[in-house]
Amino acid sequence: MSAETTTPTFEARAYAAQSPTSGMAPHRIRRREPGPGDVRLDVMFCGICHSDLHQVRNEWQSVMPTAYPCVPGHEIVGRVAKAGRDVRGFKEGDLAAVGCLVNSCRTCPACQSGMEQFCHGPAVFTYNSPDPVIGGVTYGGYAESLVVDQAFALRVPKGLDPAGAAPLLCAGITTYSPLRHWKVGSGQKVGIVGLGGLGHMGVKFARAFGAHVVVLTTSPGKAADAARLGAHEVVISRDAEAMAKHAGSFDFILDTVSAPHDIDSLVHLLKPDSTLTMVGAPDTPTPLRTMGLIFGRRRIAGSLIGGIRETQEMLDFCGEHGITSDIEVIPAQQIDTAYERMLRGDVKYRFVIDVASMKQ
């Protein structure tokens, strides 16, 4: 997929970081004009993911170095402003969404099985990936406009609040996919580690799937909110006695924490042949004693978002069950403040940028 440098482009307002320490500020970017199979969105809302902060500050430079200027954002909801002549399923005025992916090779085994996030190509992510059409890197949803191939555009069910639906495109699918893959359902005891942007969605989905939901948190003050979100029980993970009472009793645990924490104590909560799945991404190696795995034939796994088909399934499920993210809407001028508050855990539970504020 080589860049077509002659592709017509247009200018769009955005917020970008110029360096790891510059902060976020207004910036102008180039978007391609929609081709026959493209959809152009006027972006309405874009969620702020913890990975945006990591990328902006180049904290993943060893595996995913940041190219500057960096325009983050992969939790995007907007209105279709233009649909190419070959587009099917979207028309002007429709509510549509874009998540973490904007392209893939479409021919490798992962793509053929509906798991474009694992594309051998590799996948083209919504921002900070090489742009195969106009060159440079892709720019994300902290911008007033976005152009995407129709195969990577998603339908937003009627009745869902557009702002509350935006975080479903990352926080939602990141938790929905592993819960579905490991067949979480009625009669199972499921642990959700952490009650942040990811964890609160894990609680909502696990409860909707019929599981007995237990939140594992270091913060006693989150117990009331965990219950409001659908948890049946709350366990303070720093309380050794409370943890011991649950030893060997969980069918599945979803770990959403991105900071270093004690994995061994979580492994011992699993039943034999059960799984702890990591979706948080600590930026330092996680120590682990293998004996907890060996005695119980337990497993530790990882999961990355979901493919386009599964993401649409998740959105449809949310439409049927009235599930959205708990959010705080902010103007673009407050992105840096939101990043600092996010680091302190001072948000319930996802910041969402009102993109119209970029015109102010």
Q: Which domains does the chain have, with CATH numbers?
A: 9-170+306-312+326-359 (3.90.180.10), 171-302 (3.40.50.720)
Distance CA(32)–CA(172), nearest Å, equals 28
| Residue 59 Cα to chain centre, angstroms | 18
- Positions of the chain with pLDDT lower than 70, given as ranges: 1-5
At residue 5, the pLDDT reads: 59
pLDDT tens, residue by residue, 136-192: 999 999 999 999 999 999 999 999 999 999 999 999 999 999 999 999 999 999 999
At residue 282, the pLDDT reads: 79
At residue 3, the pLDDT reads: 47
At residue 259, the pLDDT reads: 85
DSSP letter (8 states) at residue 102: E
Q: Is 127 helix (H, G, I), strand (E, B) or coil?
A: coil
Q: Is 236 helix (H, G, I), strand (E, B) or coil?
A: strand
At residue 6, the pLDDT reads: 82
Q: Answer yes or no: are the C-beta atoms of 193 and 254 closer than 8 Å.
A: yes
At residue 236, the pLDDT reads: 96
At residue 1, the pLDDT reads: 41
Q: Answer yes or no: are the C-beta atoms of 110 and 116 closer than 8 Å.
A: yes
